Structure 1
Amino acid sequence: MATRTIRRTRVTLPALDEPGRYLSNVTSLEGGRGRLAEFQYTDADLRELDLAETHLLDGRVTGLTSRRTRFDRLRVDSVEFTGCDLGSLRWTDTKVSRAVFRDCKLMGATLEDITLDNVLFDNCTFGYATLTRVRTAGPVIFSGCALRETLFDAAELTAGLFDACDLRLTEFDGGQHRGLDLRGNDLSHLRGLTSLRHVIIDRPQTLQLAEALAAELEVTFGEDTDGR
């Protein structure tokens, strides 16, 4: 079974290349009776994608571009998303299990009430996104992702790990983050440090957190005022 492991966090990946498994090419993600299984959806360019009460199971979505994207109660199990650009994404009230998002653009996305379990975000762009009440029920890895000015609002990332991510002005507002692994990142521009109780860092990152705290408190250094 394929996995992705960084430090102590291991994510189980979709098993789509097992012997005897065949993925059928489809022209839509709207399956019969709200379920689409063992599928491959490739290179679609859509003005709008709106999925509600749909279950995607054992499939690949590759090269999908959507200018306006709405997912409501979209259940995802064992699915790979690769090279997708999901514009104006609003995704609410769902669970995502054993999934991979690789080289995907989620700029300005709004994710609300999402449960993640064994999910890998690899080299994805989340800039200016808002993740509200997102919860890690199992291991979740953000690897090499751009999260600039992304807001985690009342999230529970206790089984999460960030590695080599762009966290400039990334903000954490409330939530539970005990055990969140932030090693391997520059933390000097984080916001909402009081929400990050009991996270895991390396000792040298203490100075980065001090720099972030000074910026958040808008302190003035004495040497900058002396002589004025």
Structure 2
Amino acid sequence: MEMDRDSLVEQLSAGVRHFVQCSFDEADLSRLDLQDCVFERCTFNETILYACKLARSSWQRCRGMSADFESADLVDAQFQGCDLNNSKWRRSKLASASFLSCKLTGASFEEVSHLGASFEESLLVGADMRGFSFRKATLNQLDFSDADLSGCDFREAVLEGCSLREAVLKLARLEGADLRGADIGGLDLADLRTFKGVVISHAQAAAILGEMGLLVA
């Protein structure tokens, strides 16, 4: 079912809060109150959700490629099995929001408030996550390949089945991070101080030394 802003407002006025297989593609839904709504197998491709109230909303197997969530309130929102590649989240409120089995390749999380936000089994390839804090978190099956993780805090975090391949880690904090379960190939090792206190495996250490032209006998 295709829905534009007017038809959505009409449904909301009638008390509808659960939407299944609806298409909101390219609609401007800015500033709508969609708190507690459930979206199941809906599409939001290139949809504008600027400053929407989306607290406690649930998104199940939705597609929102290039969707714009700028300045939206997504506190306690839940995303599961969603394709959100190249989505924009600038200045959104993501406190306690969760992303499970989501595709977030190329997503931009610029200046978001993210206290308690969680990601699991998700693709974050090439994502802009500058300044995110993952301190003391256990990260499972996250692909940060080519992501911009500048200024991120990974102190005492445990990465299990994750990839940091060719990620940007400028000014990131990694003290005490356990990277034994992470792919760290292709990282810029020019400033080894970034990796001070990091826990890695013997195989990873040998690979790093090999990239520096040293042979481990």
* Closer, same or farther: CA 130–154 of 1 in aligned 2, 3 Å: farther
Letter in 2 for 1:200: A
Matched, 1:197 2:175: no
* Alpha-carbon distance in 2 for matches of 1:200, 1:179: 6
User: Is residue 171–residue 190 contact of structure 1 (8 Å, CA) maintained in 2?
Assistant: no
Provide the residue aligned with 2:3 in structure 1.
26
Q: With structure 1 as the length reference, what TM-score do the two structures score?
A: 0.70
* Alpha-carbon distance in 2 for matches of 1:47, 1:210: 45
Letter in 1 for 2:111: Y
* Closer, same or farther: CA 88–159 of 1 in aligned 2, 3 Å: same
Provide the residue aligned with 1:82 in structure 2.
65
SS for the counterpart of 1:56 is strand
Structure 2 unpaired stretches of 5+? 197-217
* Closer, same or farther: CA 154–87 of 1 in aligned 2, 3 Å: farther
1:108 to partner: Cα distance: 2.2
RMSD: 2.8
SS for the counterpart of 1:52 is coil
Q: With structure 2 as the length reference, what TM-score do the two structures score?
A: 0.73
Structure 1 unpaired stretches of 5+? 1-23, 215-228
User: Is residue 131–residue 152 contact of structure 1 (8 Å, CA) maintained in 2?
Assistant: no
User: Is residue 167–residue 186 contact of structure 1 (8 Å, CA) maintained in 2?
Assistant: yes
SS for the counterpart of 1:163 is coil
Provide the residue aligned with 1:111 in structure 2.
94
Provide the residue aligned with 1:71 in structure 2.
54
User: Is residue 61–residue 82 contact of structure 1 (8 Å, CA) maintained in 2?
Assistant: yes
User: Is residue 186–residue 208 contact of structure 1 (8 Å, CA) maintained in 2?
Assistant: no
Q: Which residues in structure 2 correspond to 1:173-184 (within 5 Å)?
A: 176-184=158-166
Matched, 1:157 2:157: no
1:117 to partner: Cα distance: 1.9
* Alpha-carbon distance in 2 for matches of 1:109, 1:192: 24
1:47 to partner: Cα distance: 4.0
Provide the residue aligned with 1:9 in structure 2.
none
Q: What is the count of residue pairs matched by the alignment?
A: 189
User: Is residue 60–residue 79 contact of structure 1 (8 Å, CA) maintained in 2?
Assistant: yes
Specify which structure has the bigger relative contact order, considering alpha-carbon pairs within 8 angstroms and separated by 6 or more residues.
1
* Alpha-carbon distance in 1 for matches of 2:40, 2:65: 16
Name the one with the larger strand percent. 1
1:181 to partner: Cα distance: 2.2
Provide the residue aligned with 2:117 in structure 1.
134
1:114 to partner: Cα distance: 2.4
Provide the residue aligned with 1:96 in structure 2.
79
Q: Percent same amino acid among aligned pairs? A: 16
User: Is residue 128–residue 151 contact of structure 1 (8 Å, CA) maintained in 2?
Assistant: no
